[in-house]
Structures are given as C-alpha cells and as structure tokens.
Amino acid sequence: MEQETDPQQEKRFLTAMVLSVGVFWAFSTFVYKPPPAPATPPEGAAVAESVDAVPAASAPVLAPVIPVASVASAQATHLERVWPGVESGWSSFGGAPNRLLIEAYKEPFQQLWLPTWLLDGFKAGFDWEPFTIKPKDSQTVDIVGAPDGVVLPVGIDDRGVAIDVNHYRVVSKSASALAFATQYGDVQVTKRYELPKDGYVSRYTVEFQNVGGAPARVMPSFGVADAMPDDGGSRYDSQKETWAQVDGDVEHYVRGKLEKKERPFVGPVDWFGVGDRYFMVGVEPDAPLLGTTLMSPLPGEDRFGVAFTGEPMTLAPGEVKSYGFDLYTGPKELDFFQEREMAMASSVDFGFFGLLAIPILAFLKFIFGHVGSWGISIILLTVVIKGLLFPLSNKSYKSMKDMQRLQPEINALKEKHGDNREALNTEMMGLWKEHGVNPMGGCLPMVVQMPIWFALYRVLWNSVELYQTPFLYFIDLSLRDPIGIFPLLLGITMWAQQKFTPNTASDPAQQMVIKFMPLFFSVIMFTLPAGLVVYILVNNILSIAQQWAIHRQHGGPVKAGDAGSVPQKA
C-alpha cells in the first residue's frame, strides 16, 4: 500500500540536497586548486636546424636513468616543422616533439573577477587597481608543458620508459617525415614520424632491432609524458591528467593522486596520453595492445606519464619488431575523432551525464551553424527544451495548485489522527485519489531539469568548441561572469518565480529553506560557467511567463475561500 511522504523526511531530504550542493561549491571554490596552464616556450627557440654536438651512436650505449634537467641542458639537434594549424619543434633529446603550438587557440584567459578585485582592494587599505573585464594578452596554446622533457619515451626492459632520458641521432629528415634512433646495449630503438599535411594526426612508428650477434630479450614499453606542475592557479585553468582507455574503461588521474599512488591497469589498451579537458597528446595503436598500463611519476621535475608495457619477446640477430600508432597532438574535438573512427573520442569525457551531454552538444553545434553565436545558441536551446517540457510543467503546476487547495483538509486529518500515521496515510491516500491529485507531481519539472543542467555544465566545461567563446560582455562562456550581473538576475527571477508557484510546504523549516533558495543559488552561480547561468536565467524567465499564462488558465492564485474546491476526478 502506498504511503504519504513524511514531511520530516521531505525536510531532511531538501536540507541534505542544499547542504550537498553547498559543500560541492565550497570545495570547488576554496579547496580545489588545479595547476595553471603550461608556460609558453622561451623566446628565441630554435626555428631552424642546429648542429648536433652529440656523436652518432655507432657503438652500443646504455643510457643511465638520471634527472631529465641535467641531460636536457646538453646541446641537441632542434628541428622545426610547420603545417596548417600547427607549428612544431622537435628535439634529438628523446627523439620527440618539444613544442606543439596550436594556432587556432590561445592559452586560458586570466580574467579579473569583481569579488576578488573588491577583496584585494580592502586588503590593500581601500586601494583598488582599475577594474577591467578585458583579458590579459594570451599566447598561442603550446600543448607541450615541458620543452626539456621527453614527451614520447620508450623502454626496452623492466625499467620501463623511465630509462628514456637519452640523446638520439637524426636518422632521416624531410619536410613531412622525421626519424630518430638510439641504442641500449644490442637493441636499437628508432622513432619514425610521418607528419600530416594538415590537422593533428601524425603517423608514429617505433622499431626495436637487435643489432648484436646473439638473441636479445626486449620488454617493449611506450609512453606519453609531460610536466604537470603543482603551483596553484585558478579553478578554471586547464589541469593536465594522465589518460588511458583500458579494457573499455576511461581512466584519468591528476598529479596529486599519482603522487600518492601509482595507477596500474591490466588489459587491452585502446589509447593513452597526457592532456587537459581541451587538448591532448595521445597515441592510439593500430590494434589494442595487451599488457599493463601504468600511470606514475617519471624522472624530471613535475614530470608524470602514462606508459604501456607489453610481454617480453626475444629478437634474433638482425630482427626488427615494429609498432604503429596514430599520434594525436591537438584539441579534443569530438566530431574529428568520430569522423576518423578513433577510439580517442572517449577522451571527451562528459562523465555520468554523457548520454544527455552528447546530444546537447550536437544540437548546440547545429544551431551555431545557423546563427553563428554560441550564446544565442544556448538561448535557443533553452527555448526548445522549455517547449518540449511545457506539457509536463503545465500538469505539474495544476497538481501543485490542487495540493494547495487540499491543504486545509490535510491539516484537519493530521489534527484528527495525531500520531496514528497508518490511519492518517490511509485517509490522505483516499483524499488524493478522490480528487485525482499526485502529491509528487509538482517536483517533476525540477527532476527533469536537473540532469539537463548538469549535462550542459559538462558540455561547457569539457567541449573545446565552446572554449574562449565570447557573448555580450563575457570573454569566455566557459568562465564565470566577471561582474556578477547574470547571477544576480538569476536570483531575482527565482524569487519572482516563487511568487507564481503554489507553496505546498507546511513545515516552517521547509518554507524557510524555499524562501532562501534564490539567494543560495545566486551565490553558487557566481562561480559557475557563464553559459550555464545564461541557460538557467532564460529558463527562469520563460518559466515566469509560462506560470503567468497557467495562472490565467486555471483561475489565478488559490485564495482562502477556494480551500477544498479541487475538481472531482471524472
């Protein structure tokens, strides 16, 4: 038998929900401090080929595991390669790229925020610098954070990729291809790159060759590594993580977790790399590789990486074993990955709300293709979603009004039965059934909207398509409102919306929580992406208009004389 919802339980649930959101907001704002965006390359970086002072390795050389910084300071060959959209630098130290400038994107904006500006002025003794919402000059994004590190390390034994802090010799070079080689004992390692004519996917091949006269045991390992500094920064800075898809599951870890514990995964690996929520240096093998994938710290300052290690193999004298990869060095564009059928599409991680986030992003792109503004696209998305939910909202509002009309009779039943919960529930169920009222009907629109809010938040937070997109006075819809006008307007519209919404709460504590909800949400919205605030604000405005129309349709607000006048269920 169905039972009445316990008012105390409703109170506890509502209070718990508000506190949970508050704790999440407080943690995100005051505790969570990801590292800042990668530093730009030093001025005067080589744009031409420099002379390699390291002799070609004609005899077996075993590279010791030593700090990267001390080795990288030695002179190395630097090569520059440019293709549409990318300016790249390559170094014989590690035989890998040491600079990858993505020309279409700038480093994250460092925007002045009004509350912080006010606080700093008070701390300085009522002395404020000029306030501006214009961003500081930002350089082109370089997705390599450690130009002196080895981005694509390779290993041959149980020491893994940590051994690869070595100088390579340039085997071949052309405008579209590069090859580097080094030697560990009798095993020669060659890294070959076929550069693209445009775009972000290069062909990357690693060869292991036994150049000795006896069989050689090799345990192949391949990694992606970069600097992941921990020196503070805004919560909106791009925070690098190690990434991998192992046995169908996407794993990613920030620096702090890797410092506490290495993260091994056993199973077939589809791709792995290092990147933040917008950009990635990753490798995708021609076929899933079977072995162990390890995310861990690596030699070098602030250097971390993810590496795959396969099963040991024996190479006969002269034998060569090759492994082929797609090397991705660019923005994490979901459409690009999907068009090329790359498994790396899972690097665009929308989390639990991916089922909603992906169609929302697709629809936003569709609208953007017609209007050319992401801000207007978000507004039109809000209108469409509101239209689709209108029948549900209409039914919900009628249910809330009917519940409000029945409130005097419900209060009378509570006085009649006192602590006899079973008798009270039985009569209340009968009363609701008699009038065709659903006590939970008023909650349905909010229940449906919340997943949409979270999904849109993930779209704004993780989609490079919306990265640094301006609208009105916002320099970036993925950043918070610098002045706070929209969060304040949102709070006002929530307060106005409450005036049109029948209040069915009988508990004073519940009424107090509901009363302060606009203020609570307004404060939270100060720290969330401006695009999400635009969506919720427009949704509130449409809700007010909708509720005004429903008021007229259903006879206006409930008055004292209307109590108990709920139409009987036919």
Residue 226 to residue 300: CA distance in whole angstroms: 9
- Whole-number percent of the chain with pLDDT over 90: 45
Residue 203 to residue 208: CA distance in whole angstroms: 17
CB 228 within 8 A of CB 35: yes
- Given a cut of 50, whether residue 467 has pLDDT beyond it is yes
**Order of strands, sheet of 140-142, starting from the edge strand that comes earlier in the sequence:** 78-83, 86-91, 96-106, 140-142
3 state DSSP class of 252? strand
Query: Any bridge partners for residue 256, and if so which?
Result: none
CB 307 within 8 A of CB 328: no
Q: Which of 65-79, 90-104, 158-172, 388-402 has the lowest mean pLDDT?
A: 65-79
Q: How confident is the model at residue 239 (pLDDT cuts 50, 70, 90)?
A: confident
Residue 554 to residue 432: CA distance in whole angstroms: 19
CB 484 within 8 A of CB 526: yes
- Given a cut of 90, whether residue 233 has pLDDT beyond it is no
CB 255 within 8 A of CB 35: yes
Which residues, other chains included, contact 158 with Cβ-Cβ below 8 Å and sequence gap of 6+?
219
Q: Check residues 234 and 260 and name the one with the higher pLDDT.
A: 260
| DSSP code for 29 | I
Phi then psi for residue 428, to 5 deg, are -65, -40
- Given a cut of 60, whether residue 487 has pLDDT beyond it is yes
3 state DSSP class of 559? coil
Measured N-to-C along each axis, helices 7-26 and 508-525 cross at an angle, to the nearest 10 degrees, of 20
Q: How confident is the model at residue 447 (pLDDT cuts 50, 70, 90)?
A: confident
Residue 505 to residue 509: CA distance in whole angstroms: 9
Q: How confident is the model at residue 504 (pLDDT cuts 50, 70, 90)?
A: low
CB 180 within 8 A of CB 156: no
- Given a cut of 60, whether residue 380 has pLDDT beyond it is yes
**What tokens appear for 11 in the block?**
């109170």
Mean pLDDT of 321-350: 94
Residue 330 to residue 100: CA distance in whole angstroms: 8
Structure confidence at residue 166 (pLDDT)? 86
Residue among 357, 356, 336, 358 nearest 345 (CA): 336
CA 16 to the chain's CA centroid = 26
Place of tokens 């009445």: 4
DSSP 34-47: PPPPPPPPPTT---
Place of tokens 């949409």: 452
Structure confidence at residue 48 (pLDDT)? 39
Which residues, other chains included, contact 168 with Cβ-Cβ below 8 Å and sequence gap of 6+?
92, 93, 94, 95, 180, 181, 182, 191
3 state DSSP class of 125? coil
Instruction: Select from 2.70.98.90, 3.40.50.2000, 2.60.15.10, 3.40.1360.10 the CATH code of 68-348.
Output: 2.70.98.90
- What's the chain's average pLDDT? 80
In angstroms, what CA-CA distances link 183 with 80, 94, 300, 451?
Answer: 24, 12, 21, 54
**What tokens appear for 463 in the block?**
């989609």
Mean pLDDT of 31-41: 40
Residue among 184, 174, 176 nearest 153 (CA): 184
Q: Which of 90-99, 415-424, 485-494 has the lowest mean pLDDT?
A: 415-424
**What tokens appear for 405 in the block?**
């009309």
Burial class (CB in 10 A: 0-12, 13-18, 19+), 417: middle
pLDDT in tens, 520-548: 888 888 888 899 899 889 988 988 888 78
Mean pLDDT of 311-325: 96
Structure confidence at residue 282 (pLDDT)? 97
The full length of the chain comes to 570
Residue 196 to residue 202: CA distance in whole angstroms: 5
**What tokens appear for 67 in the block?**
């700090």
Structure confidence at residue 445 (pLDDT)? 63
Residue among 139, 144, 112 nearest 128 (CA): 112
- Find the farthest-apart pair of alpha carbons in the chain and give their distance in angstroms, rounded: 102
Q: Which strand (E) or helix (H) includes residue 365?
A: helix 354-371
Residue intervals of the chain classified under CATH 2.70.98.90 are 68-348
Q: Which of 7-21, 85-99, 137-151, 216-230 has the lowest mean pLDDT?
A: 7-21
Structure confidence at residue 220 (pLDDT)? 97
Single-letter amino acid, residue 322: S
pLDDT in tens, 399-444: 666 666 767 777 777 777 777 777 777 777 777 677 666 665 556 6
- Given a cut of 80, whether residue 27 has pLDDT beyond it is no
Q: How confident is the model at residue 503 (pLDDT cuts 50, 70, 90)?
A: low
Structure confidence at residue 46 (pLDDT)? 35
Structure confidence at residue 237 (pLDDT)? 60
Q: Which strand (E) or helix (H) includes residue 346?
A: none
Residue 562 to residue 551: CA distance in whole angstroms: 14
| DSSP code for 471 | B
Q: Which residues of 275-307 are buried (b: 16+ CB within 10 A; e: fewer)?
A: bbbbbbbbbbbeebbebbbbbbbbbbebbbbbb
pTM of the model: 0.76
Residue 132 to residue 22: CA distance in whole angstroms: 29
- Given a cut of 80, whether residue 22 has pLDDT beyond it is no
Mean pLDDT of 53-64: 38
Residue 527 to residue 217: CA distance in whole angstroms: 55
Q: How confident is the model at residue 221 (pLDDT cuts 50, 70, 90)?
A: very high
Mean pLDDT of 282-293: 96
DSSP 259-313: HH--EEEEEEEEEEEEE-SSEEEEEEESSPEEEEEEEEE-SSTTEEEEEEE---E
Which residues, other chains included, contact 125 with Cβ-Cβ below 8 Å and sequence gap of 6+?
none
Q: How confident is the model at residue 112 (pLDDT cuts 50, 70, 90)?
A: confident
Q: Which of 64-68, 141-145, 472-476 has the lowest mean pLDDT?
A: 64-68
DSSP 371-408: H--HHHHHHHHHHHHHHHHHHHHHHHHHHHHHHHHHHH
